[in-house]
Structure 1
Amino acid sequence: MSITGIILAGGHSSRMGENKALLQIGGKTVIERIANQLASMSSEMIIVANNQEEYQFLGLPMVSDQWKEKGPLAGIHAGLTASNTLKNLIVACDMPFISTELGKILLKKLDTHQAAVPEIEGRLHPLYAAYRKDTKEAAEQALRDNRLRIREFLHDINASIMKGDELKRMGFLYEQAHFFNMNLPDEYQMALKMAAEKGKHPK
């Protein structure tokens, strides 16, 4: 089945002080690392970015938020609107160590649900999650109503919240690195250390 990988690169990176998607880890930018991982799971890819010039070097299709300054939900909506496939895997641009194994589990869950979102140790991760294209309308309605919390949007659709215990039962042994995201300079330094210790990103 055709799958679209959608990278959300629309944030301001204000806490980092520079574009976190373009920071280098192991000789590649974070967004390149993500794109490489998504390429093994998807037949198409889309970058959602409001400053598109910065990502021209990737050679990938790009779209901008239709709803400006509305946060990640607007990015999800823009990506799903542009997608040509039923199944979509959405990733934030600041997650350098995503797991392809987890991505495939989330996508498989879309056979029975409109979305599949991991929840690890009580924390929801809607920006490394799978969404069917038919959730676009619910996202648009939430944006119209100015209900911008993704957790609320997930209540509007048939979403499977996949907790750590369920993932373990399915044979996926997650690591904290799989959900690590960088917002602060200290977190970037931590990511560099994690990459050096691993030698490569976790499977």
Structure 2
Amino acid sequence: MKIAGLILAGGQSRRMGADKALLRLAGQPLLARVASLLAPQVAVLALSGGSAPARLAGFGWPVLPDPPGLAGQGPLAGVLAGLDWAVAQGAVALVTVPVDTPFLPADLVTRLTDVGGAAFAESRGRDHPTVALWPVTARSALVARLDTGERRLRAALDGAARVSFAGTPDPFFNLNTPEDLASAEDWVREAAPW
């Protein structure tokens, strides 16, 4: 079963005050760190660049712009572009993760695919709809949702399986502020071998 991966990197990063994809964690761009965690788990990998895809061109993976007419409409537009790309790659499903989650589990894709349909991650009682498995057959339903003005990922995953994950730090801890980045640096430093 061919699974494609997509890193959602098209957000505005308002609270961070800088492009999250390009921020450095432990000396490497956050995008490169997240890609190093997801790429071994999928057959092919792409980046969702939102309405400004050119800024990600130097990373070496295909960069997908938002579909025409949906630029800047949020991660659901990126998922739709990713599904179109996944179909062209011969994949049966697409796993999405946000660019600001630097502690993704090594068994993420396996656990999401084990449920046999659409699924999303949960940790510590909190849903993470940006961390999800989307069958490519979900494309028409997503288009219908977007046509009604619905932009929320969680709503688009209505009926999907919830897959719980645990770990320290939280495997889906996301970096929204400079303080979050500092905490992530501390965790990386503590985990580094002496």
* TM-score of the aligned structures, taking structure 1 as reference length: 0.85
1:100-179 → structure 2 map (5 Å cutoff): 100-109=106-115, 112-113=116-117, 115-155=118-158, 158-162=159-163, 164=164, 173-179=166-172
Structure 2 distance, partners of 1:142, 1:8, is 19
Q: Is this contact kept in 1: 2:119–2:157, CA < 8 A?
A: no
Equivalent position of 2:189 in the other structure:
196
Structure 2 distance, partners of 1:178, 1:45, is 20
- Tell me the SS of whatever aligns to 1:127: strand
* TM-score of the aligned structures, taking structure 2 as reference length: 0.89
Structure 1 residue runs of 5 or longer lacking an equivalent are 168-172
Structure 2 distance, partners of 1:192, 1:102, is 22
Q: Is this contact kept in 2: 1:70–1:143, CA < 8 A?
A: no
In the TM superposition, residue 127 of structure 1 has moved relative to its aligned partner by: 1.2
Q: Is this contact kept in 2: 1:88–1:107, CA < 8 A?
A: no
Equivalent position of 2:9 in the other structure:
9
In the TM superposition, residue 52 of structure 1 has moved relative to its aligned partner by: 2.2
In the TM superposition, residue 8 of structure 1 has moved relative to its aligned partner by: 0.7
In the TM superposition, residue 81 of structure 1 has moved relative to its aligned partner by: 1.6
1:82 matches 2:57: no
In the TM superposition, residue 138 of structure 1 has moved relative to its aligned partner by: 1.3
Equivalent position of 1:71 in the other structure:
74
Q: Provide, for residues 143-181 of structure 1, a one-character-per-residue CA deviation record: whole Å limited to 9, x for no partner.
A: 1101112222112xx51112x3xx5xxxxx433431110
Question: What percentage of residue pairs aligned between the two structures are identical?
Answer: 32
Q: Is this contact kept in 1: 2:6–2:94, CA < 8 A?
A: yes
Kindly tell me the number of residue pairs found equivalent between the two proteins.
187
1:181 matches 2:174: yes
In the TM superposition, residue 39 of structure 1 has moved relative to its aligned partner by: 1.7
CA RMSD of aligned residues (A): 1.7
Equivalent position of 1:170 in the other structure:
none
Q: Provide, for residues 70-92 of structure 1, a one-character-per-residue CA deviation record: whole Å limited to 9, x for no partner.
A: 21111111111211311221111
